[in-house]
């Protein structure tokens, strides 16, 4: 039975599905009952056992006004459910443009909870995303010198996050630098007080390692609003509990049958993973330019191609392309259609594959994951504990569940497509392909 929750202590709002699943998985790993839901209305699926929840929506690339509307609606619904803390999750590489919506969404959330100041902590040291002196690094490169500078949707050409965020908000942006953080909590609080007195409401946090993240989590654990990545959020549950041991997470149901990879990300890592997978298993590559005239025919062809091959193991269908191919598609189709058509193709393909009995999907790319989950009509996902960046499994909370691995295009081991899908295709227990 669904109930109004008085014990919901944490509400996450994520700007895409892969980041939302990552955030939920770290909460589960730390002993929280934390499902992922795909809209504020789906909070009605919460039960008395859920102590945290993540609302994940496709807002990363949305116009600022639309993103603010959706994020604020999620915040209002979470607060109505009793959430005492809100966390706004975005990418570790701060994916946005000067017209981006991280700043406007954070401003709206501060108004909603009545916060005078909040922090921005995207650092993810586990995968070498760090911030130092307000500058974002990918391993030993400034983000502006990394492959992120070529991102087709959110090219990161300025590494100074204070400057990036300032372009998105009329409010003053400041910095909590590493040299202050290492001096301890009192020094950090005094610095934040000085910033606030000077009119600063948005503060970029340096963080170069886990020690910094622990210190920042202790600093912000009771804040009504914090923003950033899951790497700081992982430390909150143990601070809430203090000495109370975490309960072991409930096991998710096993899901059997054919497995399909749907890859829409154009990130270097996803293309490497596809190449590694293709050594052992077949990959169908769909060119959006070729599919534009008759997308339905392309989807039907892909379904038959996959059904003829999945009994022997996982298969992959990809719209992933090189930056040069993306530019060619934009020239032929226009920027808007070139961006939307791959997601529409893979979303429609996911729905058609489920109709044929597929119940196990690995989806590569944040926008692709959002399109697939929407096409499948999934409202709630129950989540496995976090183990490794980019490798997160969830199962839809429905009578005939679907197993989903939703991964950021930039993350995950190169061999993960085969390693996480395993061999549970055997037996076609759902009668797929028959």
Q: What is the CATH number for 322?
A: 3.40.980.20
Cα distances (angstroms) measured from residue 238 to each of 51, 63, 233: 13, 36, 10
| Stretch 171-186: mean pLDDT | 97
Q: Are residues 178 and 98 in the same domain?
A: yes
Q: Are residues 226 and 271 in the same domain?
A: no
pLDDT attached to residue 407: 87
- Of all residues in the chain, the percent with pLDDT exceeding 70 is 94
pLDDT attached to residue 240: 85
Cα(105)–Cα(102) distance, rounded to whole angstroms? 5
Q: Are residues 88 and 223 in the same domain?
A: yes
Which of 210, 241, 272 is the endpoint of a domain? 241
Could you list the residue range(s) of the whole structural domain that residue 178 is in? Answer: 10-241
User: Which element (helix H / strand E) includes 352?
Assistant: helix 335-355
Q: Are residues 79 and 194 in the same domain?
A: yes
Q: Is the dihedral of CA 375, 261, 326, 230 positive or negative?
A: positive
Which of 241, 268, 302 is the endpoint of a domain? 241
Q: Are residues 348 and 378 in the same domain?
A: yes
C-alpha 395: how far from chain center: 16
**Across the chain, what does the average pLDDT equal?**
89
pLDDT in tens, 309-322: 998 899 999 988 88
| pLDDT at residue 199 tops 90 | yes
Q: Are residues 349 and 287 in the same domain?
A: yes
Closest CA to 142 of 167, 120, 115, 161: 161
Q: Are residues 293 and 224 in the same domain?
A: no
pTM of the model: 0.86
| pLDDT at residue 426 tops 50 | no
| Stretch 177-201: mean pLDDT | 97
pLDDT attached to residue 423: 62
pLDDT attached to residue 321: 82
pLDDT attached to residue 347: 94
| pLDDT at residue 105 tops 90 | yes
pLDDT attached to residue 124: 94
| pLDDT at residue 210 tops 80 | yes
| pLDDT at residue 427 tops 80 | no
- Is residue 99 domain-resident? yes
More confident residue, 143 or 336: 143
The CATH number given to whatever domain includes residue 129 is 3.40.50.10840
What separation, in Å, do the N-terminal and C-terminal C-alpha atoms of the chain show? 36
pLDDT attached to residue 6: 44
Which of 192, 207, 241 is the endpoint of a domain? 241
Q: Are residues 337 and 386 in the same domain?
A: yes
Q: Determine the length of the chain.
A: 434
- Is residue 385 domain-resident? yes
- Is residue 138 domain-resident? yes
- Is residue 249 domain-resident? no
Cα(194)–Cα(115) distance, rounded to whole angstroms? 16
pLDDT attached to residue 248: 64
Closest CA to 170 of 64, 59, 89, 58: 64
Q: Are residues 105 and 216 in the same domain?
A: yes
- Residues 186, 188, 190, CA angle at the centre, nearest 5°? 70
Given pLDDT bands bounded at 50, 70 and 90, which one contains residue 244?
A: low
Q: Note whether 227 and 107 are within 8 A (CB).
A: no
- Is residue 246 domain-resident? no
pLDDT attached to residue 39: 95
Q: Are residues 331 and 208 in the same domain?
A: no
More confident residue, 370 or 112: 112
Q: Are residues 339 and 224 in the same domain?
A: no
Q: Are residues 263 and 226 in the same domain?
A: no
- Is residue 427 domain-resident? no
DSSP code, position 199: T
Cα(265)–Cα(128) distance, rounded to whole angstroms? 20
| In 83-183, beta strands by DSSP E | 86-89, 118-121, 129-132, 135-138, 141-142, 172-176
pLDDT attached to residue 241: 76
| Stretch 61-88: mean pLDDT | 95
Q: Note whether 33 and 75 are within 8 A (CB).
A: no
- Is residue 300 domain-resident? yes
- Is residue 371 domain-resident? yes
| Stretch 18-36: mean pLDDT | 93
- Count how many domains the chain has: 2
pLDDT attached to residue 388: 78
Given pLDDT bands bounded at 50, 70 and 90, which one contains residue 2?
A: very low
């Amino acid at each position: 039975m669904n109930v109004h929750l008085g014990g919901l202590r944490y509400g996450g709002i994520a700007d895409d599905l892969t980041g939302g699943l990552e955030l939920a998985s770290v909460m589960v790993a730390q002993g929280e009952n934390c499902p992922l839901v795909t809209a504020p209305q789906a909070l009605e699926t919460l039960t008395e056992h859920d102590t945290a929840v993540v609302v994940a929506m496709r807002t990363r690339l949305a116009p600022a006004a639309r993103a603010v509307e959706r994020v604020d609606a999620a915040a209002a619904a979470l607060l109505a459910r009793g959430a005492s803390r809100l966390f706004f999750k975005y990418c570790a590489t701060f994916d946005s443009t000067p017209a981006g919506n991280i700043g406007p969404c954070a401003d709206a959330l501060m108004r909603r909870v009545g916060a005078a100041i909040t922090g921005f902590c995207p650092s993810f040291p586990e995968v070498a995303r760090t911030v130092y002196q307000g500058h974002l690094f990918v391993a030993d490169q400034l983000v502006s010198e990394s492959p992120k500078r070529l991102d087709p949707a959110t090219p990161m050409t300025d590494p100074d996050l204070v400057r990036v965020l300032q372009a998105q908000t009329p409010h003053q942006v400041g910095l909590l630098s590493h040299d202050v953080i290492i001096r301890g909590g009192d020094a950090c609080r005094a610095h934040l007080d000085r910033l606030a007195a000077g009119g600063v409401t948005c503060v970029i946090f340096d963080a170069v390692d886990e020690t910094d993240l622990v210190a920042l989590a202790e600093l912000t654990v009771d804040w009504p609003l914090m923003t950033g990545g899951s790497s700081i959020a992982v430390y909150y549950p143990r601070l809430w509990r203090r000495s109370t041991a975490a309960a072991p997470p409930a096991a998710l149901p096993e899901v059997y049958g054919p497995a399909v990879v749907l890859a829409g990300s154009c990130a270097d890592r996803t293309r490497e993973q596809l190449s590694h997978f293709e050594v052992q298993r077949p990959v169908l590559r769909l060119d959006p330019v070729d599919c534009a005239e008759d997308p339905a025919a392309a989807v039907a062809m892909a379904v038959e191609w996959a059904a003829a091959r999945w009994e022997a193991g996982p298969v992959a269908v990809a719209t992933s392309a090189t930056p040069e191919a993306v530019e060619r598609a934009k020239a032929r189709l226009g920027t808007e259609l070139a961006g939307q058509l791959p997601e529409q193709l893979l979303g429609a393909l996911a729905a058609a594959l489920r109709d044929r009995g597929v119940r196990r999907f690995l989806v590569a790319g944040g926008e692709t994951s959002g399109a697939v989950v929407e096409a499948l009509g999934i409202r709630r996902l129950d989540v496995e504990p976090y183990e490794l960046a980019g490798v997160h499994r969830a199962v839809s909370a429905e009578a005939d569940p679907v197993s989903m691995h939703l991964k950021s295009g930039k993350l995950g081991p190169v061999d993960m497509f085969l390693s996480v899908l395993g061999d549970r295709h055997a037996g076609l227990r759902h009668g797929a392909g028959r």
